[in-house]
Structure 1
Amino acid sequence: MDEPSPEAGGRKRTFSDRQRVLEEKKLQQQKEEAERLRVEEEKRMKREAKRREKRDKERKEAMRVQRVDEQSRNDMSNYYGQNFSSAQSTLANKTPAKPSTVIMPEYDAFSEGMTPECIMGATDELGELCFFVKWKGTDDADFVPAKKAKIHCPQLVIRYYENIISWK
């Protein structure tokens, strides 16, 4: 038998009282779930902001290195003069110097659970072969070492190579 409860004013709990309690519990659970989702979204946004900041910092560093390299070429040209043939041939045949250390991001998008959408390009400017990978569900793209790309998305690597091959 149902005992009278103080919250029900000393009367027995009826079906509508139980229904109201269940609805309050359900509403409380919905509020908790909404709060949990909000916190998760905040964490995701912070991770994304950190990632963007790190990527921008790396791009700025790469641009700075490129400007220094261009400046050193200009300095050589100014030193030897425009009509000095051996200097011109040396500059024309000079391949861009690769950095002595590999400047690779410490961030690993694969471990974050991101899925690659396509490979947009490839370069070895960072000291090793890297693919420029666009990620699904975002406008972001990052340089990924070819070794990692071959492990995590071999079909995309194969498709990329198939697209750039020109048969004559």
Structure 2
Amino acid sequence: MATPLAFTAHSTHPMAAVRAAFADEQYWKDRIETVGGPNARIDIIVIEGDQVRVDMVQTILPADLPAQITAIKPDGLIIPRTETWHGTGGTVEARVDGAPATVNGTLTVIDNGAGSTFVVDASIDVKIPLFGKKIEAAIQQHLSELLEREAEFTNNWLSAH
């Protein structure tokens, strides 16, 4: 059974401003550089009106993983991730290179009266007997921390631009 990934963040900026940032290529470049982590990179950015697709790669270093996982993946986890936005919603898809592990879910940003709310509703699925749940938990923790840093970055970036 997959592990859920539920994340909610609040911004002082309205939904329209957040979505405008998502349609700005410089936003993505600044975000991956600032909070993407070690060896993070963007492979593709496609922006056509309110349609946005960003393919990026991020890593979980061996030092941030349980020993049972580094026994299988001694170099850490390399995670290609795609965010696709259209209107106020979108999707996120990620996988772990060299492992039967995926993350799939929806993304939403809505006005909340005092700014906006960003919601991720996803599931993490690792099909490895004995260690699958441990890898799911490590990915869940890492992604939750990453999403928190990305939400904070977005709020700060919007304040500066």
Q: Report TM bin, short chain.
A: under 0.3
Larger-gyration structure (1/2): 1
Specify which structure has the higher proportion of helix.
1
Bigger strand share:
2
